Amino acid sequence: MADRLLGKVALVTGGASGIGRAIALRFAREGAIVVIADITETVREGGEPTRSVLEREGRAVLFHRTDVAAEADAEAAVALAVERFGRLDILVNNAIGGTRGGRLTDTTLDQWNETLAVGLTGVFLMSRAAVRQMLTQAANEDGVRGRIVNIGSQHGMVAAPEDVAYGVAKAGTNYITRQIAVDYAKEGIVCNAVAPGKILTGKTGRAVEPRWLDYSRARTPWPRLGRSEDVANAALFLASDEATYITGEVLMVDGGWMAY
């Protein structure tokens, strides 16, 4: 299928790199008008900025420098989308804070605060701003005023080895997904999450240390680890009008990790 998001206005946090980049690209190529909210346009894994790729393809795209952990920035990103394009149909909460890792006794307060500020408070602030806007919009024929897709993790359901702050942030993301879904279902707000397993985005550092790759391969029944595009495909479904009568769910994209 093509044009599954034709004319929809989608705001993607952390859309400059990794999974967020794949989501922004996929949404735009399915007809969405994409607003990329990130602190930088530099692609962590290298390559041409997401906005530049989409502009070259003739897609409707806007970049807005945003710190999702700052209340004013979160509200400004939503306001800009509405000012430029008239509404906000989809929010994807993908931005994540520092992921240096650490057990409880090895994690500093600054590391904890940074991870939770972006990875959880950012989800709260962006979702609050988005829902306030979506509630003012007319519902479609299925009664939907707007959709939120949160990017969680299987490590929000089981322990994240030696990464307590990340695990707590993702557990909170899974929880707030259900809370928003229940609180706003009668008002036409759909909220779901995608929980990726081990995804190879091109990042360096801890994410690709041999011991963590070995651990992930041992936990994953599928014969390969994940790609950013796997998550983008799931996010596309949940953001589309095909996802009917589905809200408050966390969709695993983990190659069978949680089934093992």
Q: At CA 8, angle to CA 36 and CA 146, rounded to 5?
A: 95
Are the C-beta atoms of 252 and 218 separated by less than 8 Å? no
Q: Which of 132, 127, 134, 128 is nearest to 151 (CA)?
A: 127
* Residue from 166, 215, 245, 260 carrying the catalytic annotation: 166
**Alpha carbon distance 242, 236 (integer Å):** 10
215 among known catalytic residues:
no
The total of other beta-carbon atoms located within 10 Å of residue 253's CB is 21
Query: What does the angle CA 231 – CA 10 – CA 113 come to, to the nearest 5 degrees?
Result: 65
DSSP H/E element including 37:
strand 33-38
Catalytic residues, by residue number, are 166
